[in-house]
Structure 1
Amino acid sequence: MDMTTAAVPHSLAHLTPLLPAPPARILEAGCGRGALAAALAELGYRVTGVDRDAEVAAAAGARGVPVIHADVLDVSGEHDVVLFTRSLHHAEDLDGVLAHAASLLAPDGRVVVEEFAWERVDRAAADFLYDNRALLVAAGLLDADAPSGDLLDDWVTGHDSLHTGSAVLAALDRVGSDPTTAATPVLWRLLNGRGGAWTEQVTAVPGVLDAVRRAEERRIAAGTLPAVGFVASVRR
């Protein structure tokens, strides 16, 4: 199921304050199926996607996004922005990837990141995530397994092989200057979990996700949930 109708506007709202004005040249590393890249192009940006997965790179191309099927480490050229959207936490060589990204920037270019800091999830955040997931499963909107034990332990076990958000931010600081960071809600994006699948009730799910996102935002503002997501940028 394509959930970009819910996810892309949220990403744009948080990323565009960090981007130069159109028609800046953006390389989106790990562009997936190209939904965000296509939306940025509609705003007037000159966007190129890159993804090492042939299937999703082809899907991005079918969306009209100029796309390179490659690892970002094999990409050359000059760009005003290198953008990573929830892909850096998987990087095998975090410093190497970011150093290469910085080498692709034009003068005063920016590396921009949208990520989540899985280590910020506390018991309240784990309860919020898994309780909402259970409601979606009970409502027949989501097919996903229940946690096998303690909710917070289950979260940590499922994510401790990924780079932490603090590691991503520290690596970003090492390749640029003038850092800018803003917190974002992200638990609502993670409700399907690892291996979960949305059911065929496609019309209901975006509205449900939007309601969960707004609930997360209210709790972050009230101080009862941590802000697990973030956007960040540094200049060359």
Structure 2
Amino acid sequence: MDLSTIAVPHTHTHLKPLLPAAPARVLEAGCGRGALAAALADLGYEVTGVDRDADMAAAAKERGVAVIEADIRDVSGEYDVVLFTRSLHHAESLDDLLAHAATLLAPGGRLVIEEFAWERVDQAAAHFLYDTLAILVAAGLLDAEPPKDDLLTAWVDGHNHLHQGSAMLEALGRVGSDLTTVTTSILWRLVDGRGATWTEPARAADVLNAMRDAEERRLAAGMLPPVGLLASVRC
């Protein structure tokens, strides 16, 4: 089972209001195995994926996605949307990368990001994530090493090298206008990060969907912060 497909319906639900209608030309930066790119293509979008990882690019090509194996800073062309899917937080320079991405847009095109604002995680969110991880490990569903020290400190130490969500939004605002933001659940997508391996991959979808539902109930009740983030600007 390709676990990268599990989050596609969730992503598309929140992404849809930020995208122009098909058949708009979409460049997905950091397309990974191409699950989202393939889904957008099935909806009629003209999608090109970009990934500098050869294995990821090859997997996306196997899905039928048109892929450029390169750093996006080396890409040229014209698109209606440049979409960064959980890849912008690693950028060396947000301003430089987004400035180049803006040059790839047709007039009135949009830069769109799907990200997580790691700085929004509080004690409750850290406990929700890592307690769930510990339960999945104890149940034999995940092979991972849950943090043993203060859970919020463990989260911050593991993520403070990444760009904050606020920094990404500010950088988007500097390169475009009409900033639109959407907050979402995302902790459920992070539980199997940092080298964790599903020992029973066939059960992963049910587990992650149940965790998503639990997170979204807590979001609605004000018990957890909204860490997931989508945003777009017009350039």
TM-score range, shorter chain: over 0.9
Q: Structure 2 matches for 1:190-201, cutoff 5 A? A: 190-199=190-199, 201=200
1:31 is paired with a residue whose SS is: coil
The separation in 2 between residues aligned to 1:5 and 1:173, in whole angstroms, is 31
1:54 and 2:78 aligned: no
The separation in 2 between residues aligned to 1:103 and 1:192, in whole angstroms, is 35
Q: How many residue pairs were aligned?
A: 235
Contact kept in structure 1, 2:89 and 2:163, CA below 8 Å: yes
Contact kept in structure 2, 1:27 and 1:81, CA below 8 Å: yes
1:171 and 2:171 aligned: yes
Aligned to 2:214: 215
1:19 and 2:25 aligned: no
Equivalent AA in structure 1 for residue 213 of structure 2: R
Equivalent AA in structure 2 for residue 126 of structure 1: A
Q: Deviations over 1:167-193 (max 9, x none)?
A: 111001111001100100000000013
The separation in 2 between residues aligned to 1:182 and 1:63, in whole angstroms, is 29
Instruction: Note the residue ranges of structure 2 that are not aligned, 5 or more in a row.
Output: none
Aligned to 2:204: 205
Q: Structure 2 matches for 1:52-91, cutoff 5 A? A: 52-91=52-91
Contact kept in structure 1, 2:25 and 2:45, CA below 8 Å: yes
Please identify, of 108-117 and 140-149, the stretch whose mean Cα deviation from structure 2 is larger.
140-149
Contact kept in structure 1, 2:5 and 2:36, CA below 8 Å: no
Shift of 1:31: 0.5
Q: Deviations over 1:18-37 (max 9, x none)?
A: 00000000000010111100
Q: Structure 2 matches for 1:1-236, cutoff 5 A? A: 2-199=2-199, 201-236=200-235
Equivalent AA in structure 1 for residue 81 of structure 2: V
1:203 is paired with a residue whose SS is: helix
The separation in 1 between residues aligned to 2:17 and 2:3, in whole angstroms, is 23
Taking only aligned residues, the RMSD between alpha carbons, in angstroms, comes to 0.8
Shift of 1:93: 1.2
The separation in 2 between residues aligned to 1:159 and 1:4, in whole angstroms, is 22
4+ runs of 1 displaced by more than 6 Å?
none
TM-score (norm 1): 0.98
Shift of 1:146: 1.7
Contact kept in structure 1, 2:126 and 2:151, CA below 8 Å: yes
Contact kept in structure 2, 1:5 and 1:206, CA below 8 Å: no
Identity %: 70
Instruction: Note the residue ranges of structure 1 that are not aligned, 5 or more in a row.
Output: none
The separation in 2 between residues aligned to 1:205 and 1:138, in whole angstroms, is 15
1:204 is paired with a residue whose SS is: helix
Shift of 1:202: 2.2
Q: Deviations over 1:37-75 (max 9, x none)?
A: 000000000000001111111111111000000000000
Contact kept in structure 2, 1:143 and 1:197, CA below 8 Å: yes
1:67 is paired with a residue whose SS is: strand
Contact kept in structure 2, 1:185 and 1:229, CA below 8 Å: yes
TM-score (norm 2): 0.98
1:52 is paired with a residue whose SS is: coil
